[in-house]
């Protein structure tokens, strides 16, 4: 079979496909839906889950204009029909109209939020359409008057002569019709440092966490009933900022169970849901998935986690990689709005304490604002799905170097911070192993034209607040 051809239209995202119809004395054959070929042409990989058929016995039967909240791939199995589409989505293209005659060699991909209507041009026409969500009873969606003068659809058969349902005769005019809002964004782990930063970068998102707060709803991803009840089909984007980050406590029996649930099982659940509901999943990981022996950690370095926390994060990475549309941002030494290393050093500097800080673990700080900015950049730029390293830029520094800089910015002498090795610091303590080198290679994300801000510049601004 030859490749079909694809034609764009006046409605963004709505495309016409001219199919290869093979005819002989027996009739005809066509590949009505062929994922590999059609995606290669530029059709979205929309993942149909249901095939519907509709038969109209009489010429002039007219349906619509209906705006279902899912994508649709429409063709006719036999006969000819006139198709009309109206953009009912919020935005500049609202009210745009496109029409085309449908026959067995013509198919149309209709994106969510575009109203569709069909008029049979002969007796005995059968429509076939694929949709990427299961039909749900009582699902509300916008509808539009077939005869609305502002869109002026040129019906081949006058509506006065057409077969139209009573319901379709009472649909509102364009000026009074509801507009289809875009799918939403969900931030998981909204109470945390990163979750709060993401909420600033993605205002208006739905917010969930394990604990309720102002504007934050409780959602436990380890609760199967709660997950099943959540309306995942309403989201185009899910940002998973939730994690169990108590590295040392993860080594305890209780901490081990919590860490595996939050860092491995929950991301696996989200990856499954992303495939089922076609949303883009953004997940945030850690340089702890590596043992710290490489001089510079690249995205494709084999995983080599040391402790329980690290192992659970690595398992989560593997699970998220199965989501069809995912960005996995691997980061290091995260600093944001909340309790963290920098705030602790500021507190000690203010109290006159002279701490001892390890000097043989090196890396770069990642400020949550920078991580949120990188997320926005990848999404808005349409970057290739996959794993990206992200930290602030600048030279690698030890924890001791950073503590000295915080003391200097706090008006204390850098010499008030004393160095100590990790082994000396850990002596007599129940501590999980840490990677000695946490420096991430940033070449992949900078190749997308994202330039990370120098960590010391960001640190000075952060300490001033």
As given in the structure block, the two tokens for residue 38 are 């059609």
The residue ranges of the chain whose pLDDT is under 70 are 1
Q: What's the burial of 351, exposed, middle or buried (CB within 10 Å: 0-12/13-18/19+)?
A: exposed
Nearest residue to 357 (alpha-carbon basis) of 420, 431, 406, 438: 420
Domain boundaries, the chain: 5-176, 184-463
Cα end-to-end distance, the chain, whole Å: 65
Supply the pLDDT for residue 223: 94
Supply the pLDDT for residue 1: 65
Active site members: 66, 129
The CATH homologous superfamily for domain 5-176 is: Jelly Rolls (2.60.120.10)
Supply the pLDDT for residue 342: 96
CATH 3.40.50.720 fits 184-463, yes or no: yes
């Amino acid at each position: 079979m030859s490749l079909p051809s694809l034609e764009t239209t006046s409605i963004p995202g709505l495309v016409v496909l001219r199919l290869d119809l093979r005819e002989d004395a027996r009739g005809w054959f066509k590949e009505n839906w062929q994922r590999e070929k059609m995606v290669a042409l530029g059709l979205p990989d929309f993942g149909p889950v249901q095939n519907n058929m509709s038969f109209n016995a009489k010429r002039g039967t007219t349906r619509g204009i209906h705006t279902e909240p899912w994508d649709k791939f429409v063709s006719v199995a036999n006969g000819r029909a006139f198709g009309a589409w109206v953009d009912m989505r919020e935005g500049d293209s609202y009210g745009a109209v496109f029409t085309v005659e449908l026959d067995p060699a013509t198919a149309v991909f209709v994106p969510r939020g575009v109203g569709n209507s069909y008029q049979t041009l002969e007796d005995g026409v059968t429509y076939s359409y694929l949709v990427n969500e299961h039909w749900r009873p009582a699902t509300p969606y916008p509808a539009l008057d077939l005869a609305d003068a502002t869109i002026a659809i040129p019906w081949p058969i006058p509506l006065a002569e057409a077969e139209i349902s009573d319901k379709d005769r009472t649909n509102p005019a364009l000026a009074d019709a509801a507009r289809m809002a875009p799918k939403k964004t969900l931030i998981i782990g909204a109470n945390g440092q990163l979750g709060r930063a993401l909420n600033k970068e993605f205002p208006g998102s739905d917010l969930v966490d394990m604990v309720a707060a102002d504007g934050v709803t409780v959602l436990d991803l380890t609760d199967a009933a709660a997950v099943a009840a959540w309306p995942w089909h309403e989201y185009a984007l899910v940002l998973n900022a939730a994690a169990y980050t108590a590295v040392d406590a993860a080594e305890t029996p209780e901490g081990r169970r919590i860490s595996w649930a939050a860092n491995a099982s929950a991301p696996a659940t989200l990856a499954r849901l992303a495939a089922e509901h076609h949303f883009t999943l953004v997940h945030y990981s850690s340089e702890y998935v590596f043992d710290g022996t490489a001089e510079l950690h690249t995205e494709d370095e084999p995983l080599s986690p040391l402790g329980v926390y690290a192992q659970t994060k690595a398992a989560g990475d593997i699970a998220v990689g199965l989501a069809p549309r995912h960005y996995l941002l691997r980061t290091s030494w995260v600093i944001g709005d909340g309790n963290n290393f920098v705030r602790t050093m500021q507190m000690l500097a203010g109290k006159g304490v002279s701490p001892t800080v390890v000097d043989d673990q090196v890396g770069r700080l990642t400020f949550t604002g920078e991580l949120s900015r990188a997320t926005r950049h990848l999404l808005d730029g349409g970057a290739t799905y996959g794993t990206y390293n992200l930290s602030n830029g600048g030279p690698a520094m030890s924890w001791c170097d950073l503590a000295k800089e915080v003391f200097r910015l706090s008006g204390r002498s850098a010499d008030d911070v004393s160095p100590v090795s990790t082994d000396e610091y850990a002596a007599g303590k129940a501590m999980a192993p840490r990677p000695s080198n946490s420096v991430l290679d940033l070449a992949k994300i900078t190749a997308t034209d994202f330039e990370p801000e120098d960590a010391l510049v960001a640190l000075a601004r952060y300490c001033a607040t």
